[in-house]
Every structure is written in structure tokens, then in C-alpha cells.
Amino acid sequence: MSKGNVVAWITHALILLIILPVVFTCAGHARLASITAGVNNAFAINDNGAVWGWGRNYYGQIGNGAFSEKCGPGSVLIDNVTMITTNGGASYALKSDGTVWAWGYGESGWLGDGGFEDQCVPVQVKNLTNVKAIAAGSQNCYALKNDGTVWAWGDNRDGQCGDGTTMGDGTIGVSQYGRASPVRYRGLEGVEYFITGCDQGVVADKNDGTMWALETNKRVDKITYGTVTDPSAYGFIKICGINWTQEQAHYVALKGDGTVWTWGAYVGRRGAFDKSGLDKAVEESPTRVEGLDHVVDVAAAHLTNYALKEDGTVWGWGRNDAGELGSGYRTVEPYPVLVFKGPTPTGTPTPTPTSTPTPTPAITQPSATPASTPTPAPGFELAAALLAGLAITTLITKLRKTGR
């Protein structure tokens, strides 16, 4: 073997030793990609489509095969999920193949499986394919298909399913008003996407520039979020809101710089039976949540907020009487606490702390964003390894030329 071949062989071996361990590490460890929440439960989705849920589970709305509350994150019996939406009583998942699955409360046809029974494991919504987005209404669900049409199922006593009737598929009780299978929302074509978390409920945005509130079948001229009527003025890239009553309406928003802001009813306020909160009732204008940065997603439940950070951890604060924080205990948390470290490489949820969390800095009025050390983005290690390998190759090549 010539001297040149030996050098080339050593070069390739060094590159493989540096790169391969990093590649296998990155490939074998999935990360949390998004979070969503309903009335008193929440879900986290992995970038490989696995799902974890926690909170109230009386109707089986966690989807873990049980009907008992879950105070800490547990695996949901479904995979290949790209989106989840929930209204607290039932939960809905969109899979990568364009099908929709549901679990939880079923008495009013909320699950869309053709029946009226509660389900604690995911069941497929009937006759629904080629779906690209889903959004839960207060008592039903909407699906947007690739062809721009909208389909709905669930409670229809006020015509929420948009089929031109107030009828259901059942014969007794509330089933008389529930559409147990999807029906097409009439007069609504060319829909591009759904807007959720606003005061107008689920809104369909059409390709002609018009917007329609699906639960009331009325045209919407402006999207509002409580006192915030122009989100772009604040630089918000995502807003989640719960607006059942004016007294309890609250909102959580994410900015492009990774900071989190809240307004409306203060979720960390002291309760009648839980004195662990603060004597604070409302935030009139967007207020930054101190102690949270590098956030990539937010979600809101009823008087509970969540934030997903770049490192894959989930933080929560607010009401917790149903275990909706996922922290393992049931006290109001006025400041963000760690509730989910994310899945382990084997896919098992990492246990969350059950001891009293360390208080974070108090929430203050808007101020300049403090400088902080950025967290390396996913893939940073792989890029560094590739650059190192390139540098070694270049160095050895120069040495070979010098030695000639």
C-alpha cells in the first residue's frame, strides 16, 4: 500500500469516527415538536408522531386506554400524528396519511365514528380522508380537506355543523342533536386554513380574503383576542386563547424572539379552595412572562398555560385542580414550572418532579428582552461534526502536498 493510500485511509477513518456517533445519536432521539391544550388537559407531539397527554380524563379524553385522571404525561395510544386539537371533552388527531382519529366524550356524536359512546382509545372518524387541518369547536370538530372544503361533526343543535339543519343522527337524548359522522359544511369552499384561539371561535380563512366563524356561520371582519385587536403590532407569531366568559378569558402569545406574553384573567390567581396562587385577578395588556425564553410553541387550557422550549421541555403555570399541569401535584402555580422533560430515547416519558418547584422571577410589565445565551438548534452538533471532518481532510491534504 502506497504512502498516499495510507494517508487517505486514515483520513476517511477519522471522519467516520467523528461523524457516525453524532448521526446515530441525532437519529435515535426524537424531540417534542408542538403542544396543544383543551379545557383541562394537554398534549405534546414528538417530531416522529408519538403523542403524550395529561390532565382530566373522565371521558377518556387522554386516549391512554383508561378513564382516570393523569397528573403526569403518559403515552397516547396513537402514532404518526401531525396535529392534535381538543375541546376538553374530546380530543382529535390528524395523522400523516390524512385520516382523523378521535377519543373521549361521544354522547353527542363528538367522535365522528358513527356512534354515541365514550372512547378511551382513538377511533377513526368515518368517511374522512385527504385532511390537511383540524380544529375543535366547543362541542364539535371541523376538518379542512385538501380540496378546500370543510367537514364537521358533533353537536348540531344550533347548526354548528353547517349542513343547513339543526338535526342529529340519534334518536334519544342529546344524540338527537349530534352528527355522529362528518357532514359537509355548505356554502364554504376555497378555505385555505383555520384560525383558532380567538374570540370568534374557529374561523375559516378563504382564498377570496373573507373569513367565516364556523360555529355561528357568520362572516368575520376582524379577528380579536380580548384587548389585543392588532396582534401584528406586538410581533406575536402565535396566540392561544380561552374565552368562555369575559371574567375568565385569558390569552398566551409567543413572539418571534422566543418570549411569552399573557393577558386577560390571571391564571395564577388564588382560588377559593387553593391558597397557593397570588392575589392578582387580571392583566389588562400583554405582560411578559419572566423566566421563559427560547420558547417555540405555546398552548392554553382553562386558566392554565403551557410553553414548549427549544430544548424539548414543557413548562406550565396556572390552575391545576385536575392535574392539567402534568406536574404530579395539584396546586395553583403562579410561575412556570417544569412539567415534562420530554421522551427518553426509548420513547418512555421522563418522570417529572413531584417536589415543590423552585420559584421563578415574578411576572412584570413589558420590558426590554434581557440578553441570554442561545440554546443550540437541533442539528447543531451534526453540523459541527461535518465542519470538523472537513477541517481534518483539508489539513491532511496540505500535509501530503508539503511532504512531496
> Is residue 392 over pLDDT 70?
no
> Is residue 309 over pLDDT 60?
yes
d(CA 356, CA 338): 11
Give the model's pLDDT for residue 360: 34
φ, ψ of residue 19 to 5 degrees: the values are -85, -45
> Is residue 366 over pLDDT 60?
no
Choice between 358 and 151, residue whose per-residue pLDDT is larger: 151
3-class DSSP state of 76: coil
φ, ψ of residue 325 to 5 degrees: the values are -75, -25
Give the alpha-carbon dihedral of 258, 286, 356, 65, to 10 degrees: -70
Q: How many CB atoms lie within 10 A of CB 123?
A: 17
Q: Which of 48, 43, 61, 142 is nearest to 96 (CA)?
A: 48
Contact 104, 63 (CB under 8 A): yes
Q: How long, in residues, is the chain? A: 404
> Is residue 276 over pLDDT 80?
no
Q: How confident is the model at residue 172 (pLDDT cuts 50, 70, 90)?
A: confident
Q: Which of 252, 236, 199, 245 is nearest to 363 (CA)?
A: 252
d(CA 196, CA 192): 13
To the nearest whole percent, how much of the chain has pLDDT over 90? 62
Average pLDDT, the chain: 83
> Is residue 154 over pLDDT 80?
yes
Give the model's pLDDT for residue 247: 77
List strand residue ranges (DSSP E) for 270-340, in order: 282-288, 295-301, 304-309, 314-318, 333-340
Give the model's pLDDT for residue 70: 76
Dihedral sign for Cα 276, 325, 327, 292, please.
Answer: negative
Give the model's pLDDT for residue 378: 46
pLDDT 10s digits, 102-119: 999 999 999 999 999 999
Predicted TM-score (pTM) of the model is: 0.80
Tell me the HSE value of 125 on the side-chain side, using a 13 A CA sphere. Answer: 35
Q: How confident is the model at residue 380 (pLDDT cuts 50, 70, 90)?
A: very low
Give the model's pLDDT for residue 345: 58
The predicted model gives 255-265 an average pLDDT of 96
> Is residue 180 over pLDDT 50?
yes
Q: How confident is the model at residue 356 (pLDDT cuts 50, 70, 90)?
A: very low
Tell me the HSE value of 310 on the side-chain side, using a 13 A CA sphere. Answer: 15
Single-letter amino acid, residue 367: S
Residue with cell 403515552: 75
The predicted model gives 371-396 an average pLDDT of 48
Give the model's pLDDT for residue 385: 52
Choice between 71 and 180, residue whose per-residue pLDDT is larger: 180
Cβ-Cβ contacts under 8 Å for 81 (sequence gap 6 or more): 45, 49, 50, 51, 93, 94, 95, 96
To the nearest whole percent, how much of the chain has pLDDT over 70? 77
3-class DSSP state of 25: helix
The predicted model gives 174-200 an average pLDDT of 95
Q: Which of 33, 36, 32, 34 is nearest to 301 (CA)?
A: 36
Q: Cα dist. 180→100, 141, 163 in Å? A: 14, 11, 13
Give the model's pLDDT for residue 375: 41
d(CA 112, CA 100): 9
Query: What strand order describes the sheet that includes 201-206?
Result: 191-198, 201-206, 211-213, 218-220
Contact 45, 37 (CB under 8 A): no
3-class DSSP state of 78: coil
> Is residue 403 over pLDDT 90?
no
Give the model's pLDDT for residue 62: 96
